[in-house]
Amino acid sequence: MINKHIKIFLAGHRGMVGSAIYRALVSKGYTNILTKPRNELDLKDQSSVKRFFSEHQPEVVIDAAARVGGILANNEYPYQFLMENLLIQNNLIDFAHQFECKKFIFLGSSCIYPKLAPQPLNEDCLLTSELEPTNQWYAIAKIAGVKACEAIRKQYGKDFVSLMPTNLYGSHDNFDLKTSHVLPAMIRKFHEAKLEGHTEVVLWGSGSPKREFLHVDDLAEAVIFSLEHVLKDNLYNVGSGKDLSIFELALLIQRIVGHKGKISWDSSKPDGTPRKLMDVSKMKDEGWQSKIDLEDGISKTYQWFLENLDEIKEVKIV
């Protein structure tokens, strides 16, 4: 059993993923969780991160910090999505190595896999063909992080592991229509259309691509599992193992929100990858699998959205 007083640095604790991990750590009885808001520690600044590690000497690092966004944000700000993520993760990985951290958990994304990789996406398909063009910048940064952790694991025998979650959703998500992912964007669109008298909702693409979704609280449980166990390999997919079409997702969210108007599809907008279903057998073999049903998860997310309308997070590009 892991010592519940072990010093854990949770980077990115205020984001959707980081806040879910923080809640999970507290609920499991962990008492020594280090966090730093962005205005006190700029993870892009090498000297600041080194100073933090030197002063606090964390034993475990969980990297939930990243510049994230949907198709539009990735497409319009490729340099920021590439460079900022490289800077953040390189500083964390390198100083965790230099200061002899016992464990490093790196969080990435299913977008690291090729656009047309065989389904379901297996960890072995990494770097076998071309990436999805619209989010390749973010994907390349995350691939670099995966390979850095793998290199440290190979060269120094350290317990650095990478978890690649599928499409995430849940409380503290980003609901800004310019930068959000598909599920929270749909929640906001259907909600606002309902308030406007059930007006028509126009959605991007054809609705035909299939996507898998994982509630962020499930991912947090996977992180805790990885913290408390020594995993045999360096790279693991984390997902539900189930997908549905964007069209089916829209109908589900429309019903949960209570919107009764028309749905139209703007086929001039990109669909992205045709399908992204994760092969989650490696994590299942280790002893972990997701628990939260998609409909229940979306209902909880919509309830959180309603309770936090005045404080809904909007990502600002600078």
Which positions are catalytic? 138
Report which of 163, 304, 134 is spatially closest to residue 233, judged by C-alpha positions: 163
Q: What angle do CA 167, 180, 162 make, to 5 degrees?
A: 35
The verdict on whether residue 252 carries a ligand-binding annotation is no
135 is known to lie in a ligand binding site? no
Nearest to 103 by CA among 147, 58, 46, 144: 58
The amino acid occupying position 147 is: K
Q: Is 103 annotated in some ligand binding site?
A: no
- Is 14 annotated to bind ligand? yes
Contact between 132 and 139 (Cβ < 8 Å): yes
Q: For 311, which DSSP code?
A: G
The answer on whether 13 is annotated among ligand-binding residues is: yes
Nearest alpha-carbon partner for 88 in 111, 118, 108: 108
CA distance 24 to 19: 9
**Residues 6 or more apart whose Cβ sits within 8 Å of residue 11:** 18, 36, 43, 61, 62, 63, 64, 65, 88, 92
17 appears as a binding residue in the annotation: yes
Is position 158 annotated in a ligand binding site?
A: no
Q: Residue 181, annotated ligand binder?
A: yes
4 labelled binding-site residue? no
Annotated binding residue at 280?
Answer: no
18 labelled as ligand-binding? yes
Q: Is 262 annotated as a binding residue?
A: no
Residues 6+ apart with CB under 8 A from 64: 10, 11, 12, 13, 15, 17, 18, 21, 107
**161 annotated as ligand-binding:** no
271 known ligand binder: yes
Label residues 19-39 b or e (16+ Cβ within 10 Å = b).
bbbbebbeeeebeebbbbeee
Instruction: Could you list the residues known to form a binding site for NADP(+), using ranges.
Output: 12-18, 107-110, 142, 165-168, 181
Instruction: Could you list the residues known to form a binding site for substrate, using ranges.
Output: 189, 204, 211, 271
Instruction: Could you list the residues known to form a binding site, using ranges.
Output: 12-18, 107-110, 142, 165-168, 181, 189, 204, 211, 271
